[in-house]
A and B are shown apart, each in its own frame.
Chain A
Amino acid sequence: GQQLNQSPQSMFIQEGEDVSMNCTSSSIFNTWLWYKQDPGEGPVLLIALYKAGELTSNGRLTAQFGITRKDSFLNISASIPSDVGIYFCAGRRNQAGTALIFGKGTTLSVSS
């Protein structure tokens, strides 16, 4: 099955720094989602995007649905230690279906 190209694979940053990660695909998606997974837990939905060009914020997190519908990015501003975890992008090509395609994840480490 197809997977999204998510980068970077891992990031090591200092507390207070901003973070940016992105996902790309060769196919058009109608929905982009960003999840965060804490160690040993299930992923939790952070932001959902449904329209090309849409820019949505959730606290210090901002995500955008690329205008070409083939990419999305997630920014985290002023990182804190609890931002540590794995961030996954996920996309859906067909709005009528429900199966998501996931990226391989970006592992974020934050040092204080």
Chain B
Amino acid sequence: EVQLVESGGGLVQPGGSLRLSCAASGFTFSSYAMSWVRQAPGTGLEWVSGISGRGSSTYYPDSVKGRFTISRDNSKNTLYLQMNSLRAEDTAVYYCAKDYGSGSPYYFDYWGQGILVTVSS
């Protein structure tokens, strides 16, 4: 059974940093691309980063480019999202999502339960 469990969320001040983790199990982690998707309170879904199965390629929308860094440790079956220079508008539930493919974002067949990140002073 595929399981994705996020951790590392919480309250952070504007301008601060936070690192999210996603522990994966139930599938061959290194064979699949992974992504992070967020959902601000009361709003829709926004894709915020993707990484290929081997970790050699990363993808970001302009809204987070230069501030967020996605990475993975295939030996630990863990996905990360390093978030720097956080803003109030980054407040959201962040979901870890497994991709069907191994390269650029394709579609997400499994999702974690989500972790809340609140950016506020």
Asked if A and B bind, the verdict is no
Q: Which residues of A contact B (CB under 8 A)?
A: none
A-contacting residues of B (Cβ < 8 Å)?
A: none
